Amino acid sequence: MEKTTHTNPNPQLPPSNNKSSTTVGAIIILFGVFLLLNNLDLGFLFPSWLFSVPMILIIVGLVIGINSKFEKKSSFILIAIGGIFLLRKIFGDFNPFQVLFPAIAIIIGIYIINRNRKAPNFPTPPNDTPTPHPTDEYDWDRRVVNLTDDTDPSQAQSATADASNKYSGAQSQFQFSENYLKVEALFGSANKIILSKNFLGGTITNIFGGSVINLLQADFSQPIVIDTFQLFGSTKIIVPPHWIVTPSVSSIFGDMDDRRIMINHPYDESKKLYLTGTSIFGTVTIKNS
C-alpha cells in the first residue's frame, strides 16, 4: 500500500517582529517632502535646524525608542546627543560640553542604581515552550515543608506544588533567555557564538557598531526569525551550509551581501531562517564558513 504525504509547497512566512521599517519609511517620506519644499524655495515655511544632523539623530532615537517602548538605552543616548547639539544650533552661544559631561555622569549613576535594584529582564517565552522539570531524584532547590500533626496535608501539598512551580518558572525563563539572541552594539562590536539546540531567533541592533553571529553549532526545530537594525553599522551571520536562509531586509543606502559558498550539499527543509529588519547606511553579510 502506497503512502501519500502532503507537503506544503508554499511555506508560510513566520510573522515578522520588525516594527521599525514602517516608522522609518514614514519619517523618510516626510523628510523628503520637507526637502522638496525647501528646494522649491518654500523653505521659509520651516526652520533651518529641521534639516540638520542633530535633528536626524533625534529622529533615529525616537524611531528606536518608540518601536522598543524605550527599553533600548541607545534611543536615549541618540536623543540626548542630538538635543544638546540642536540647542547649540538654535542658540549660537550655547556650549554643549557644559551640559554633555554632567548629563553623562548623571545618566551613568542612575543606570548603576537601577541595575542593582532591577531583576534581569527575560523575554516572555512562547506559550508552546515546554516547561522543564528537574530530572534528578533529589531536588535540592525545592522548599522544605515540615509536616506536623497540626498541618493540613492539602496545604502541605499546595506549598510543595507552589515551590516546584516557582523553580520550574525560573528555570524556564533562564532556558528561554539562553535560546534567544539579543545583541545591541552602540559605537562598539559584539561577537556571539550560539550553542543552543533549541534556538528561537532574536534581535540585532547596531548603531555605529558591528556584530558577528556564529550559528554553526546552533540548531532549532521550527522556522525562526532574526530581526536586524543597522544604522552606520554591520552584521555578519555565519550559518551551516544546509540551512535555508531567506533575507528580507530593507536597505536604505545599505548593502545585503550573500557570500555563502555554493556546494553540493542538500538543504534541510526543517531548517529555515528568515532575516528581517532595516539597514540604513549599513551592511548585512551572510556566510557559511
pLDDT in tens, 130-158: 545 545 554 444 444 454 545 455 554 55
Listed in sequence order, the residues at least 6 apart from 156 whose beta carbon sits closer than 8 Å to its beta carbon are 145, 147
CA dist., res. 113 & res. 238, Å (int): 37
Give the H/E segment covering residue 114.
helix 97-117
Q: Is the pLDDT of residue 123 over 70?
A: no
Give residue 277's pLDDT. 82
CA dist., res. 215 & res. 79, Å (int): 34
Q: Is the pLDDT of residue 189 over 60?
A: yes
Q: Is the pLDDT of residue 19 over 90?
A: no
Band the pLDDT of 75: cuts 50, 70, 90.
confident
- The CA angle 202-76-31, to the nearest 5 degrees, is 90
Give the H/E segment covering residue 183.
strand 181-186
Higher pLDDT residue, 274 or 81?
Answer: 274
CA dist., res. 76 & res. 58, Å (int): 9
Cell numbers for 207? 548603531
CA dist., res. 245 & res. 223, Å (int): 10
Q: Indicate the length of the chain as a whole number.
A: 289
Cell numbers for 41? 524655495
Listed in sequence order, the residues at least 6 apart from 279 whose beta carbon sits closer than 8 Å to its beta carbon are 228, 229, 230, 249, 250, 251, 252, 254, 255, 256
Which among 289, 148, 283, 163 is positioned nearest to 229, based on CA atoms? 283
**pTM beyond cutoff 0.75:** no
What number of other Cβ atoms are within 10 A of residue 32's Cβ? 10
